[in-house]
Amino acid sequence: MDPIQEAIEYIESRELGDDFSYNKVAAQFGVERKPKVRDNEDKLRYYDIHFCQRRALPAVLQAFVNELQADTVSSLDAVRSPNARHVVQRQRRAQRLSEQDGIDLLKGMLLFVEDDDQPMLAVKAKQNLDKRYLPPPTDPAWVKEYGALEGPQPDQLFGYRHWKNSDSAATAFSTQQEYGLLSHAVAPAFHFPFMSAQWKSPKNNQTHFQARPQGARDGAVIVRYLHQFYADAGLVPTVKDTVHFSLTIDMESAHLFIHWEEFDQERPAYYMEPVMKTFLDNEQQVADLRYMMKNILAYAMGSRLANLRNAVEATQT
């Protein structure tokens, strides 16, 4: 690789900004190239991906969110788990660490982990999502001007464990049901993700501002995949069937979002709106967030999974 080009790509990989990589390197060495446009809010709009617009949720989703949030004000007493307290105790240390070190410190206390109590749950880090399910641009000309969307990759992804990786008789899908799923999966390591997370570190000058567009892009990919899966099964899903949840976490606070698809002007558009915001130094708020996520997990392992199994059967008949 040309050393100048190599230097440019290295600087871009450090997320120091498009202007820095172009002006400080390309211009200095006379390399004529357009700066790479990262997946920011403006760029995502050209792919009909929208986030944090205070858009009202469809009525069925608002009712669903209300159910998931029920009784959160009493969650500290109801859950009686030390995890919320441990998150608060570790939060100050986490915000002084690098992104990965902060993730390693908090993830086991804040989010789900694979264990014997959840034999069907799979949790994976840095999973590349299939680019086939990236939403297309509203106009192909935008791709030439701003570039294609970057490869979707959540820091953490939560879904259903493959049958072959299960240590229990309880599996999300049988070997027969898994047949044919793998070649069309949005994530190679497991089935039908229902939640994802993007982490950032203040030490790296990264916040929710950088995490939100990444989360919106990743969520849109998963929602679009679910719509395509149901369509291939000859079924018309409800908005609840294809919903996705995500978090952005900056070591000081965590924001929980819901993602869904609507048709705007005869083409699908993808939306992400917050449903809960939590300061990680507040034990009650952390307990409330964990309580709501446990309700999301219960939904994922209950009626959501039942609907997906029915759709899998429909594709194989």
Q: How many contiguous H segments (helices) and E segments (strands) does the chain have?
A: 12, 7
Instruction: Choose the weakest-confidence range: 12-21, 56-65, 222-231.
Output: 12-21
55 membership: H or E segment, kind and range:
none
Q: Higher pLDDT residue, 242 or 9?
A: 242
Question: Tokens 């047949």 identify what position?
Answer: 179
Q: Hey, what's the torsion of the CAs at 137, 138, 141, 145, to 10 degrees? A: -60
Q: What is the pLDDT of residues 166-203, one digit of tens each?
A: 776 678 888 888 877 877 899 988 999 999 999 999 99
What confidence tens digit (pLDDT) does each residue in 247-306 have? 999 999 999 999 999 987 779 999 999 999 999 999 999 999 999 999 999 999 999 999
Which residues make Cβ contacts (< 8 Å) with residue 14, sequence separation at least 6?
Answer: none
Mean pLDDT score, 6-26:
46
Separation of alpha carbons 162 and 250, rounded Å:
31
Asked if residue 97 has pLDDT above 90, the reply is yes
